[in-house]
Amino acid sequence: MKALLFSLSLGLLCLTGCGSDEDEWTAKRPKLYPAGGVVTWNGEPVEGADVQYVSQSLDVGALGTTDAQGKYKLTTYKDNDGAAEGTHKVVVTKRIYEEKPSKYHTPDEPSMLLVPKDLLPKKYSKVATTDIEVSVSTTGPNEETIELKGK
């Protein structure tokens, strides 16, 4: 009985100590600023694209997904909390996954792979090849229009 009471007391103590929003992990996070925008491709809004901001000075990135109007809001730690200040490379991807037979595929034992197929120009899908850079500032509004071009 004493062991049960001790365990319950210890559990309650841990719960009361874990309620703080400002622990060592969150204290070291960079300050974030609301950021987002719209993505178009050849003048048309892009729905369902993933937009990633990759900071060029900090080890942090932000991600958003476009809606039917091509609009996105960035998330770093919590929904729509924004991105860190500074220069960011922008990666934009939209993919579908097609089933293809694997090398082990047989009629008796089908084995399929999901193979990604890019729906936007490939150059925007990697940090090394994208030519889009944006700056997130402390004063905002940090709303970007990202125009993708090409096939």
Tell me the domain boundaries of the chain.
30-94+121-148
Q: What is the pLDDT of residue 91?
A: 98
Q: What is the pLDDT of residue 4?
A: 41
- Extended strands (E) in the chain: 32-33, 36-41, 44-45, 50-55, 61-65, 71-73, 83-84, 86-93, 95-101, 112-118, 133-136, 143-148
Percent of the chain with pLDDT over 90: 71
CATH topology of domain 30-94+121-148: Immunoglobulin-like (2.60.40)
pLDDT digit string (tens) for 40-75? Answer: 999 999 999 999 999 999 999 999 999 999 999 999
pLDDT digit string (tens) for 110-139? Answer: 888 999 999 999 999 999 999 999 999 999
Confidence of residue 19 (pLDDT cuts 50, 70, 90): low
Confidence of residue 8 (pLDDT cuts 50, 70, 90): very low
User: Whole-model pTM?
Assistant: 0.78
